[in-house]
Structure 1
Amino acid sequence: MAAPFDTAENTRTATIPASAGHVCVAVSGDEMIALAADTVRTNPFVEFRLDSVADPAAMLPALRQFLFGNRRATVVATCRRTAFGGDFEGTAEEQIAILREAALAGCSLVDMEVETAEELGDASLQAMRGAGAAVILSWHDFTSTPALEPVLDRMRPFAPDMYKIVPTAQTLHDALTLIDLLEKHGGNGDLVAMSMGFKGVLTRVLGPRFGSVFTFASADGHGGTAPGQVSLSVLRDLYRVEKISSETAIYAVAGQPITGSMSPRMHNTALADADMDAVYLPLETSDAAELHDVVVRLDIHGLSITMPLKEAVMPLLAFRDTTVEQAGACNTLLRHRDGKLAGFNTDVGGIVGPLARRIQLEGARILVLGAGGAARAAVFGLKERGAEVWLLNRTTSRAEMLGAESGSHVQTRETLAQTHFDAIINSTPYGMRSQTLDAPITEAEMNCRVFFDLVYNPIETPLISAARTRGIDIIPGIAMFVEQGVRQFELWTEHTAPEGEMMRVVREALGA
């Protein structure tokens, strides 16, 4: 292997061809060459994490062969040391030697952590440039987001071709700190920045919009190389990151936890189907004030609100429609041009709509299991359509309170098996994945024409299976989920929602 500090005179300025796009796919492990070969067929920009193999030097001949056969690919070589978040256990000098060989093999960029530059001096960067590669000087914080301006100041004396700053977002405010850095310095065309962690996903999607030269993704079907990294197909095809610009409208789902939410898949599909210049993001927070800061900072047009924020956002609303007033909860926000927020509850229509297509609601006898927010949406929506509603809840006092407020009856468990209803609606969390609650009703107590389970993941819940065994007409929770999403989409965009496509992608994602 050549000496690490052989500084030839062919140093060049960093350039990433327009054909590379804005998404760099990180590949790692013993199969990284094959993974890269598969990736560059559709995405010519890849990063080889050489530190992810036991002997990075032994990978170099295969890397050289790959580069020879894929000359249109734009390739970054990284060999991060263990002390700075990587897996390479060698010295800084050994790291530089490997990166220089990768540059000589044809990698157009190398990623070197700032700590290595501080240890070895400017000669370490010149070694890379002498081998024909541009230098990305990187800094990572795997636990938090400190002040980022001092980090940039720390890196400037080395005058790298690009700066890469990657903290960890513990809050959405942390993600905004990263966005602020990008907006201030991204115009120079030499800053790559994003936040790790699920709360940093918005920075991975919106980074190029605010000035990041590119963003990272994982290869499809393989784990990411950093926390919060999403796959190429999700970033490129679902979020359409290559098309995001300063004109792109932003929508989002907010709550905690939302890592398993189907809303981004459903709404991004709908936006793409409608050919709208818009993107829909996941925002994980339980803090309504923090959410409001993000909405204002990013100029978010509309939001889906999930637990635990459905009641917490109420004080933020300048307008509430009748469904919000009745249900005492808001699941949909619309931001007007003057910045004021209007609140709606599309859960009501999401429940009433599918049921009204099965039975005549006026005069119908309907039992609602539970007394929480979903139950309130069901009760007031059904009462408005003229149904007679009964409530059954584990805590009888809560059912009595909701019953008194809505003019509904309270059903006792003792007489349930002898009582018949036109429909029974499960609004409890029973049946959700990882839930360990006792069943709110037994198969023998399912005396009804229609059973509607508001739980949508999984589609086939224990209660759905029990009702099916009894020959009862079934409405799965996915019907409610898609219907309320359709109503959200139409409130936000004033376009007709592609309901069929929305249902298709959700069913596909749930394995149905």
Structure 2
Amino acid sequence: MLCVSLTPHDLPFAPARTDPALAVEVRLDHFDQAVDAAGLRAATAGPLLATFRSEHHLGRAAAADRDGSGWEQRLACLKAGFDWIDLELDENDLDDKIAAVHAAGKKVVLSHHSLSVGVDLEPFLERALATRADILKIIGTGGATADFATQRRLYQRAGTRPLVHFFMGADYYASRVLSLRYGAPFTFVAKSEAAAVAPGQVSISRMRDLFGDRGGPFEAFAVLGLPIAHSRSPGYHTPLLRSINQNALFVPLPGETDADLALLLQTFPELRGAAVTKPLKEAAARRADRFVHPEAADLGAVNTLLRDGSTWSAANTDYLAMETLLEDVVPAGRTVRVLGYGGLGKAVVAACLKLGLPVEVTNRSAEKCRDLPAQARFLAWETRHEAGAYALVQATSVGMAPHDAMSPLERVPEGVAVVMETIYNPAVTQLMKQAEAAGARVLDGMLLFEKQAEIQNRLFRETLTADIGN
């Protein structure tokens, strides 16, 4: 079940009238006047939750008001027939309040929110387990890949007690999705992305379209990297994977080191495949046991991992896609200039060399280009604006949202006829604007994303169809 948070800005809320699978949390702390509890009950098909959230728990009310007006408002909701009453773990007279809710035949959601990163949540779960609350709600603030291992551990500790546990934060919204798969009775969503009342809260439509609202077993796929909340991979891969297996789940998982990658692969034995983005592409290559394409091994960076029993196979679909794209837009013998020499930059260089195209590379740190192939020319970053290139490929993250106004170039070099952007958020980058003004042909970042994702998804689906064949 999904539980949508309701504030005065969200009224009226029509779906609540007809959707019994949607619970509604009325955030009493957001209302200046007492809510029409009876009217909300009559207008809502699914369960209703009355919440009076204090400032210490990411709400708007003073903690001192919980025992006065806050408790009176929740009692009014209880009398009107609300199904669940939220109490905070550090409230006064907690046992008496729980007893009062139970006496009315309704249920208690007992909440705790830790707003600082890295807080040990187990003591709060232990305190909650010692109460007679019906649903326990322990919320943290995401700050490390290890939070996903913590989430699984706390669900195991809760046993049969209903638990809602996830981590707030844009890059940690997958923990909200996974909570349902681990057995949470509900997870929180917003009417729209703009109406979110907590960091990382996604909309009803996004949750249902991409992740569903079901619990139970799943075949997991993921996109790994940091930042990761902006990734369009879930939207692209989910419907294609679900056409093979309805239990397929594609989520974004944050990580930036070799240790993070190892922890994610260990934490999720359900993980069948992963798209890998910055800054984990080189770590993924080091983790691979074998390579689907020999070029990926030479690159030292991959963007695709596939579970093969107890081992991992790797591929670089950026390379395969870039080879196709460059062949279509760069005539033979014309020079390609690559901005940046990370995992993507290496894929671009390899594709150029495979096609026999002259290629030059410039990177802010010359040290990163120490392993540049002998056939490629190194160009100092300070001279990146000089003439001589036919095509220019952006392989840095400069200009990615939220830094939309930035560009890796002050101007497009004279003579450049084609500029290939690889950033797709924002849809139109500052570099693209510069290229258009200079009269160059512009290829946007979605072109590379869709081309490499098409190849990547074919590899993912092969892992699912192989199981069907067995």
TM-score of the superposition, structure 1-length normalised? 0.80
State the Cα RMSD in Å: 3.1
2:299 corresponds in structure 1 to: 327
1:344 corresponds in structure 2 to: 315
Take 1:474 and 1:414, find their aligned partners in 2: how far apart are those partners? 22
* Pair 120,453 (structure 1): closer, same or farther in 2 beyond 3 Å: closer
Q: Which structure 1 residue ranges, 5 or more long, are not aligned?
A: 1-21, 497-512
User: Would the aligned equivalents of 2:385 and 2:411 in 1 still touch at CA under 8 Å?
Assistant: no
Work out whether 1:25 is the aligned partner of 2:4: yes
Q: Deviation at 1:112?
A: 0.9
User: Would the aligned equivalents of 2:387 and 2:413 in 1 still touch at CA under 8 Å?
Assistant: no
Take 2:441 and 2:11, find their aligned partners in 1: how far apart are those partners? 53
Cα deviation code 1:85-143 (max 9, x no counterpart): 43233141443222111011110111111222xx2153222222333421122222222
- Alignment counterpart, residue 63 of structure 1, candidates 13, 37, 61: 37
Take 1:253 and 1:125, find their aligned partners in 2: how far apart are those partners? 42
Work out whether 1:214 is the aligned partner of 2:176: no
Letter in 2 for 1:73: G
Q: Bigger shift: 462-471 or 95-104?
A: 462-471
2:347 corresponds in structure 1 to: 377
User: Would the aligned equivalents of 1:134 and 1:161 in 2 still touch at CA under 8 Å?
Assistant: yes
* Pair 262,63 (structure 1): closer, same or farther in 2 beyond 3 Å: same
User: Would the aligned equivalents of 1:172 and 1:290 in 2 still touch at CA under 8 Å?
Assistant: yes
- Alignment counterpart, residue 419 of structure 2, candidates 426, 429, 451: 451
Take 1:202 and 1:81, find their aligned partners in 2: how far apart are those partners? 25
Q: Deviation at 1:199?
A: 4.9
Q: Bigger shift: 136-145 or 269-278?
A: 269-278
Take 1:171 and 1:394, find their aligned partners in 2: how far apart are those partners? 28
- Alignment counterpart, residue 250 of structure 1, candidates 210, 220, 224: 220
1:9 corresponds in structure 2 to: none
2:467 corresponds in structure 1 to: none
1:284 corresponds in structure 2 to: 254
Take 1:476 and 1:276, find their aligned partners in 2: how far apart are those partners? 32
* Pair 359,493 (structure 1): closer, same or farther in 2 beyond 3 Å: same
Work out whether 1:111 is the aligned partner of 2:86: yes
Query: What percent of counterpart residues are identical?
Result: 27
* Pair 279,108 (structure 1): closer, same or farther in 2 beyond 3 Å: same
Take 2:124 and 2:385, find their aligned partners in 1: how far apart are those partners? 65
Q: Deviation at 1:77?
A: 0.7
Take 1:230 and 1:137, find their aligned partners in 2: how far apart are those partners? 22
User: Would the aligned equivalents of 2:116 and 2:141 in 1 still touch at CA under 8 Å?
Assistant: yes
Work out whether 1:46 is the aligned partner of 2:16: no
Cα deviation code 1:11-48 (max 9, x no counterpart): xxxxxxxxxxx1111112x235413x444444531111
SS at match of 1:281: strand
Take 1:145 and 1:396, find their aligned partners in 2: how far apart are those partners? 36
User: Would the aligned equivalents of 2:405 and 2:430 in 1 still touch at CA under 8 Å?
Assistant: no
Take 1:414 and 1:94, find their aligned partners in 2: how far apart are those partners? 67
Letter in 2 for 1:267: H
User: Would the aligned equivalents of 2:224 and 2:277 in 1 still touch at CA under 8 Å?
Assistant: yes
User: Would the aligned equivalents of 1:197 and 1:227 in 2 still touch at CA under 8 Å?
Assistant: yes
Larger gyration radius, structure 1 or structure 2: 1
Take 1:322 and 1:217, find their aligned partners in 2: how far apart are those partners? 44
User: Would the aligned equivalents of 1:430 and 1:440 in 2 still touch at CA under 8 Å?
Assistant: no
* Pair 431,184 (structure 1): closer, same or farther in 2 beyond 3 Å: closer
Cα deviation code 1:439-490 (max 9, x no counterpart): 5473461343x33222333333344344445554432221111111112211
User: Would the aligned equivalents of 2:256 and 2:279 in 1 still touch at CA under 8 Å?
Assistant: yes
- Alignment counterpart, residue 356 of structure 1, candidates 323, 327, 348: 327
- Alignment counterpart, residue 112 of structure 2, candidates 113, 128, 139: 139
Q: Deviation at 1:377?
A: 1.0
User: Would the aligned equivalents of 1:100 and 1:131 in 2 still touch at CA under 8 Å?
Assistant: no
- Alignment counterpart, residue 124 of structure 1, candidates 97, 103, 124: 97
2:70 corresponds in structure 1 to: 95
Letter in 2 for 1:283: L
Letter in 2 for 1:66: L
* Pair 380,185 (structure 1): closer, same or farther in 2 beyond 3 Å: same
SS at match of 2:78: helix
SS at match of 1:226: coil
1:318 corresponds in structure 2 to: 289
Take 2:191 and 2:445, find their aligned partners in 1: how far apart are those partners? 32
Aligned ranges for residues 261-300 of structure 1 at < 5 Å? 261-272=231-242, 276-299=246-269, 300=271
User: Would the aligned equivalents of 2:275 and 2:304 in 1 still touch at CA under 8 Å?
Assistant: yes
Cα deviation code 1:384-417 (max 9, x no counterpart): 1222323345566766x455x2412346888976
Take 1:343 and 1:472, find their aligned partners in 2: how far apart are those partners? 35
Q: Deviation at 1:430?
A: 4.4
User: Would the aligned equivalents of 1:189 and 1:213 in 2 still touch at CA under 8 Å?
Assistant: no
* Pair 435,33 (structure 1): closer, same or farther in 2 beyond 3 Å: closer
2:393 corresponds in structure 1 to: 425
Cα deviation code 1:423-443 (max 9, x no counterpart): 332334444341676654734
**Count of residue pairs brought into register by the alignment:** 458
Aligned ranges for residues 375-414 of structure 1 at < 5 Å? 375-393=345-363, 401=370, 403=372, 405-410=373-378
* Pair 98,132 (structure 1): closer, same or farther in 2 beyond 3 Å: farther
Take 2:263 and 2:384, find their aligned partners in 1: how far apart are those partners? 50
